[in-house]
């Protein structure tokens, strides 16, 4: 690698760029030994410097990857000479990585980045969605104007309204004892309506429920609506 840098100004520029990017970049030879790592890759691979892995065999250094998607995907690229992109969990570090693997005449070039936070957020979102659609409690999501943006099946069953009849309507339409929009909004935000309430079905009949609410905030802490969770009282 040093010889290549000394012999080629273009290679020096390329390595300078690779040293600055946020992705980890490694090169493996045909014997599965590291021939290059940028500093970012060394840190993500839990080494103090690239020199600690140069010349080392990847599966000797990281035996937990043997037989796992990492090894199978790398071997597939060597066999087919076609690049692959995949996400995979590395259990020893409890981390997810996105991997972009490219064939080369010398072996493989791998660009990778940690996506643990994004992956865990995606998993949490799927679990929340499962709860949203399966819970027996009625769930209403409304925006800052008290307009309904989402409801779950339990709410449509309890109220008799179809989903399309509720979306875009003011939340007050569902509550017999607070059926005026002004009952639900004050100083630009929802009034604190919690506890026992009386809801109204599409056919006009009333039924009791207990409601709780949670504010929805964006990543900057700005209020953007709320979730109302209602338990129908038998």
Q: CA of 234: how far to CAs of 158, 207, 208, 231, in Å?
A: 12, 9, 8, 9
Give the range among 23-27, 41-45, 172-176 with minimum mean pLDDT: 172-176
Q: Map residue 59 onto helix, strand or coil.
A: helix
Q: How many CB atoms lie under 10 A from the CB of residue 40?
A: 19
Closest CA to 41 of 110, 137, 132: 110
The set of residues, in sequence order, having a beta carbon less than 8 Å from that of 18 and lying 6+ positions away, is 25, 38
pLDDT digits (tens, 9 = 90+) for 85-98: 999 999 899 999 99
pLDDT digits (tens, 9 = 90+) for 189-214: 444 556 788 888 999 898 888 888 88
Confidence label for 133 from pLDDT (cuts 50, 70 and 90): confident
Strand-pairing partners, residue 102, are 109
pLDDT value at residue 226: 84
């Amino acid at each position: 690698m040093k010889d290549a840098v000394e012999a080629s100004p273009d290679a020096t520029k390329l390595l300078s760029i690779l040293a600055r990017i946020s992705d980890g970049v490694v090169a493996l030879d045909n014997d599965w030994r590291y021939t290059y790592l940028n500093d970012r890759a060394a840190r993500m691979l839990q080494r103090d410097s690239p020199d600690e892995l140069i010349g080392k065999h990847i599966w000797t250094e990281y035996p937990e990857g043997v037989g796992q998607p990492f090894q199978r995907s790398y071997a597939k690229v060597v066999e087919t000479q076609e690049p692959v992109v995949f996400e995979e969990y590395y259990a020893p570090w409890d981390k997810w990585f996105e991997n972009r693997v490219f064939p080369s005449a010398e072996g493989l070039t791998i660009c990778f980045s940690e996506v643990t936070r994004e992956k865990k957020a995606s998993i949490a979102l799927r679990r929340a969605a499962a709860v949203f659609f399966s819970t027996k409690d009625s769930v209403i999501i409304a925006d800052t104007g008290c307009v309904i943006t989402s409801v779950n099946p339990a709410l449509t069953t309890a109220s008799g309204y179809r989903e399309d009849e509720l979306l875009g309507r003011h939340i007050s339409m569902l509550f017999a004892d607070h059926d005026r929009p002004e009952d639900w909004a004050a100083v630009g935000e929802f009034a604190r309506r919690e506890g026992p309430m009386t809801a109204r079905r599409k056919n006009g009949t009333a039924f009791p429920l207990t409601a709780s609410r949670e504010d929805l905030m964006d990543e900057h802490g700005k209020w953007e609506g709320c979730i109302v969770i209602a338990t129908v009282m038998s």
